[in-house]
Structure 1
Amino acid sequence: MAAPRAFLRLIPPKWNGGKRGFRDLSGVVTPEGNRRKRRTLLQFLSDHFCDMEFLRENVLQKQMQKVSLENRSFTIIQDKYGRDIAGACFILQHGGSVKFRDREWIRSDEYRRFSAEVLKFQAVPVEAIDASGCAINYHGLDNLLPLKKLQCLSLQRCPHVDDWCLSRLYLLADSLQELSLAGCPQISERGLACLHHLSNLRRLDISDLPGVEYPGLTQILVEEMLPNCEVVGTDWTQEGPEEQPQDPASPIHAKPAARDLGDPCGVS
């Protein structure tokens, strides 16, 4: 808990005029803040917090409150302008980008401000969203799941996207064709198993997931789970023990023929 700014410095009793008692405490009980001397950062923190652990918890709590506030539902905008406008405003206020059908990409500036012309696209559905690096969490998906025409969704490097978030993406199964989860630190194999509902998915990026213990094996399982989807991730063919050098003339060392994987799903 927070400590007071000033501490009372008690001194042991001393003899005063032949009588046992305390001296005049006017010069002893002095607030530390009244002393004019340079204070270090550690001294300042020690005067305001009992320990550094409390400071750390306080900072984390403030950050989580900010994330929770930023992921509130845009119900007022949705009621007035529709769910596509509400989802677009939510992403743009997080610093992401949106693309309406037959329109150019719309991006917010460095201060997360964007043009009010977005409100004119009430009759145009959102077909692509780039939320790379945005602080979107489980509750913030309430603004994206109603987008029934959404085809491409990028959640790359989103720090708060976890397995619980992936368990809600089944609501986009009818339209979603491309999904990127690259670099999300809180996604594991359990969350990827929830993607079996996305039967229309054509391209899935699961590269660089630190929460996945066996990325090569996981990619194989995801490919079997989504046979019509191109899964981008770890090159599992290069995992395992190092191969011994082979004779160039040996047929085993011959270069295999390249496979035609076709063009990946993309957004112009």
Structure 2
Amino acid sequence: MSYLKKSLRQANTLYSRLSICHSKRYASDGRERRMGKPMLEPEYMRSFPDDGKSPFVNFNRFMNLFEIDYSLNSMRHYLRHSIYRHEVIAQSLDTEKLGRLGADLTAAHTVVRLQGRVQFAGFDKWIEAKGDRMPLPNYKVDNLYLQVADFTGTKVLYEGLECLEGTSLKMLILKDCKNIDDFCLSRLYVLSDTLEFLDISGCSLVTDNGLGALQKLKNLKYLRINDLPNAGNKSLVSLLLQEDNPDLTVLGVDLEALDHMTENSQAPENIVQDSLSTKQSSSDQSQKQADSEKT
């Protein structure tokens, strides 16, 4: 008897919930509409919003779990994407910190947090993270200018370079940064007035197009481009950069050998003339040989 009463009580509760859901009005895009007949459909097919008040919302969420691809490749892709999104959020510019600390100190915080190191003007000591302790002040310091930022071997992204805008940075080291690509180098134009030294050695994603984007750095004096496997014409691009900026010294390419090759190479007109003269001399020799045979 108690079991029957319990079953009737549960049925009555379910009926009352269904009645409430059926009569309840939902607002969607400013218009009121009735939910209509409750249906066990996916969330994206229902005409009422997912506000969590319907007893079928949680059931549909549970059923949608069976439609997810749980293969190993899919899980790896999801994990990589989650890690990448976390890195993007962590490296994005904090405007509240920028207003509180200033551009130079905010950039220094970002570099040190990514396991890099920095130097300020007037100080010879490198500042880098030691454990979980941040060796930088958390308040604004006057006359503190960032001069060197070393990202060697870090996971800096395009969003992480945003903090460099507005700084007095003169030396930027991006050596062996596997996430640095052409898109990242195109963002360095914000340092065109101050940057004098740039090291992008070991950035395997950089191509000739990324090197061409460095044309905007008019004050650049030294550029190191060792070990760039995807930049096949980096010597030619370096020559073009030096034509726009005569004060630029490119390290990592043998420009003297390239200049020697270009100086000794013949122009297309000379090559054509040499070929024509060779053909004429060979035809003359063959004619003389034919005449001698006749005689």
Counterpart check, 1:143 vs 2:143: no
Report how far residue 109 of structure 1 moved: 3.3
Matched, 1:97 2:105: no
- Work out the CA distance in 1 between the residues paired with 2:76 and 2:108: 34
Per-residue displacement from partner, 1:185-228 (whole Å, max 9, x unpaired)?
22111111111121111100111112212333333333334321
Output the amino acid matched with 1:163.
D
- Please give the residue correspondences for 1:198-209 in structure 2 after superposition, counting only pairs within 5 Å: 198-209=217-228
Instruction: Please say if 1:154 is aligned against 2:173.
Output: yes
Return the index of the structure with the highest Cα Rg.
2
- Contact 2:186–2:214 (Cα < 8 Å) also in 1: yes
The counterpart of 1:85, out of the listed 75, 83, 105, is 105
Aligned match of 1:129 in 136, 149, 172?
149
Residue of 247, 250, 265 corresponding to 1:228: 247
Q: Please state if 1:214 is matched with 2:255.
A: no
The residue matched to 1:105 in structure 2 has which SS? coil
> 2-side partners of 1:71 and 1:190: how far apart?
25
Larger RCO (CA under 8 A, 6+ residues apart): 1
Q: Which has the higher helix share?
A: 2
* Structure 1 stretches lacking a partner, 5+ long: 1-47, 240-268
Q: Percent identity?
A: 27
Give 3-state SS (helix, strand or coil) of 2:84's partner: helix
Partner of 2:74: 54
Aligned partner letter, 1:220? L
SS of corresponding position for 1:204? strand
Distance 1:231 1:237 in 2: 11
2:209 corresponds to 1:195: no
TM-score, structure 2 as length reference:
0.59
Residue deviations 1:158-190, cap 9 Å, x none? Answer: 122221222121221111111111111221111
Q: Which is further off, 228-237 or 122-131?
A: 228-237
Equivalence map 1:15-34=2 (5 Å): none
Give me the CA root mean square deviation.
2.4
The alpha carbon displacement at 1:118 in A equals 6.7
Mapped to 1, the partners of 2:132 and 2:204 lie a distance apart of: 24
* Residue 76 (1) aligns with residue 103 (2): no
Distance 1:55 1:82 in 2: 41
Paired residue total? 191
Say which SS state the counterpart of residue 109 (structure 2) adopts: helix
Q: TM-score, normalised by structure 1?
A: 0.64
1:202–1:107 Cα change, 3 Å: same
Segments of 5+ residues of structure 2 without an aligned counterpart are: 1-67, 259-295
Structure 1 residue 107 corresponds to structure 2 residue 118: no
Distance (Å, rounded) in 1 between the aligned partners of 2:113 and 2:128: 7
Give, in angstroms, the shift of residue 237 of structure 1.
Answer: 5.9
Letter in 2 for 1:230: T
